[in-house]
Amino acid sequence: MRALIATAVLALMSTLAHADPACDAKAAEKKLAGAAKNSFIKKCEKDAGGAGPACAAKAVDKNGKALAGAAKNSFIKKCEKEAAAAK
């Protein structure tokens, strides 16, 4: 029984550790806790994840060359944040 509880707690903590800050903030605004918070964050991240491929396709410099490395990561992160804010 203890092992089951420990496993559940670790799974919950790992989920919250990787939560999107924007989704986590929205869950805090709604004062969600426990399973409701986890469900909300999971749905929020799924909805926000739809912008990923579109943002990756737009990740080009002014000469039309694909961005790479930190520049690409920064662009995609900014693009996804803007897409999530627009929803």
The owner of tokens 């920064």 is: 74
The C-alpha atoms of residue 23 and residue 84 are separated, in whole angstroms, by 9
| 85 torsion bin: left (phi>0), alpha (psi -120 to 50), beta (else) | alpha
Burial class for 23, CB neighbours closer than 10 Å (0-12, 13-18, 19+): buried
Cα dist. 3→7, 34, 62 in Å? Answer: 6, 19, 55
pLDDT digits (tens, 9 = 90+) for 9-22: 555 555 445 556 77
pLDDT digits (tens, 9 = 90+) for 3-61: 656 665 555 555 445 556 778 888 889 998 899 999 888 888 777 666 667 888 888 98
Does the pLDDT value for residue 79 go beyond 60? yes
